[in-house]
Amino acid sequence: MKKLNKFFNKLSTCGIDFTLLQDALIEVGEYKKRKSPAILFPKTTQQVRQLINYAVEYTIPLYPYSKGNNWGFGSFVPVKNNTVLVDLGKLNNIRTCDHKKQIIVIEPGVTQQQLSDYLKDTKFMANLTSSSPYSSVLGNTLDNGIGYLGRKINDMVGVEMISGTGNLCQYGYLSTKLKSKDLTRYIPQTNFGIVTAIAIKLTRQPKHIKMITLTFETPSFNKISSLLKSYYQDGIIRWVSKISPIDHSLFYLLIPIITTSTERQKIHLMINQLKKLGKVQIYNEPKIRSLPTSNEFVGHWSLYHGQPNGYPTASYLPFKQKIVNLDQYSNTGIRLLAHITPLDTPVIKNIERIISGVSKESTCTVDYRLNILNKKSIALVMYIHFLRNKQGIKSAKVVSSNLFFSLMEYGYKPYRLNIDIQKNSYKQNLSSNFKKKIKKQLDPFNIISPGRYGF
């Protein structure tokens, strides 16, 4: 306690705001309860550097987060108990935008809405997710999020970070040194330091986008998976397609198409092929404009254009309204699982089999989405809905654990983990020797996010 008081006194002298905490932290996944002594609110990169130096001096563990909207995986809650929270929301500057190189540099507090508004009058757009307009672009990128245009870590070309020793580290596009090792691709899902900025690639706004939907039954997935592989192979589909269950045997496939004069014949052939497998609908701009803004397809359309429309499209959100803090929603809890599966025939059957086996006698509801990334891979996201009472939370814990290990038995490895799994199981496989060496060099005192992804 004496160390903490000295630490807080030092923060006061350099103008870093903080709030002391007493109660257990509340988050929508209802994972194991954790406490934190305080939340710090730095406003600048220099203040981040100062608070890390003081944390090293008094051996105070820190857990940074951008906006805290990592819903279903633990939100803003640290992996280990009694870790001081660092809210980076006030670092919300868009530093530079290089139109020639199509690269923008953003800080942790920059939200999807802020970035979209900034790019509104340009020829470019960013790769966004359906989480919330108020979610951090940087935070989701560093946790290996999937956007509507693809995996977000593929957009990241540079990192600025304050290491666990208080040093300013700059990599890739943000490096000021001519000859230095670029660690950009090793930074996501680690805890080497506090990231204060990233550089991400932008995408040029296409002139014409269509959304094609196909409603199909389970037996058709064999043919559909083969067609999807060929469409991605030929470049007809470039972004993330989505498969959603309507019920246990009926699904819809959503395909974004960038229409160009050279590809119209291929697209026409694709539509005819899909019509043989189910009901096809085509959404263009006039049709989208005729729908209410709360319609799910309006949300998808907006996000394919790099514009969060203010309404969540993700199925795990139990209502259609603008949301700032889902953790405070009083009744419904959510847990998420995120795994990579191959794009092959039995994947839907396997998932349906796993869900029916795990949730048969549960009070939870399990839903899922398949995000098709390319000709080989699918990002599977499962949503466990439950009531936030004692019975509901207990059921969610059992169901989420059983689902996780059932998916692992099929060889479907996770690409994101919740805070309980990060702390307890699976961590040995995630901690490569090379990353351990980086951790030892950049954060030898294990000050930053202890336990995060097994480090």
DSSP letter string, 151-212: EGGGTEEEEEEEETTS-EEEEETT---SS----GGG-TT--SEEEEEEEEE-EEPPS-EEEE
Mean pLDDT (whole number) for 29-33: 95
Considering the chain, what percentage of its residues have pLDDT values greater than 90? Answer: 73
CA-to-CA distance for 202 and 193, rounded, in angstroms? Answer: 25
Q: What is the pLDDT of residue 323?
A: 52
pLDDT above 60 (res 42): yes
Sheet holding 38-41: strands in order across? 17-20, 38-41, 84-87, 62-65
Mean pLDDT (whole number) for 385-394: 94
CA-to-CA distance for 147 and 297, rounded, in angstroms? Answer: 16
Please, which pLDDT band fits residue 217 given cuts at 50, 70 and 90? very high
Q: What is the pLDDT of residue 315?
A: 47
Indicate the pTM of the whole model. 0.94
pLDDT above 80 (res 248): no
Q: What is the pLDDT of residue 330?
A: 60
Q: What is the pLDDT of residue 416?
A: 95
Q: How many angstroms from the chain centroid is the CA of residue 26? A: 20
Q: What is the pLDDT of residue 424?
A: 57
pLDDT above 70 (res 311): no
Lowest-confidence range among 228-232, 306-310, 405-409? Answer: 306-310
List, in sequence order, the alpha helices (H) in 103-165.
112-119, 137-142
Query: Which is higher by pLDDT, 328 or 36?
Result: 36
Give the gyration radius of the chain's Cα atoms: 22
pLDDT in tens, 413-436: 999 999 999 865 444 444 578 888
pLDDT in tens, 68-82: 999 999 999 999 999
CA-to-CA distance for 454 and 171, rounded, in angstroms? Answer: 23
Contact 380, 370 (CB under 8 A): yes
Please, which pLDDT band fits residue 357 given cuts at 50, 70 and 90? confident
267 three-class SS: helix
Lowest-confidence range among 171-185, 224-238, 299-313, 394-408? Answer: 299-313
Mean pLDDT (whole number) for 130-154: 94
Report which of 346, 306, 276, 255 is spatially closest to residue 130, judged by C-alpha positions: 306
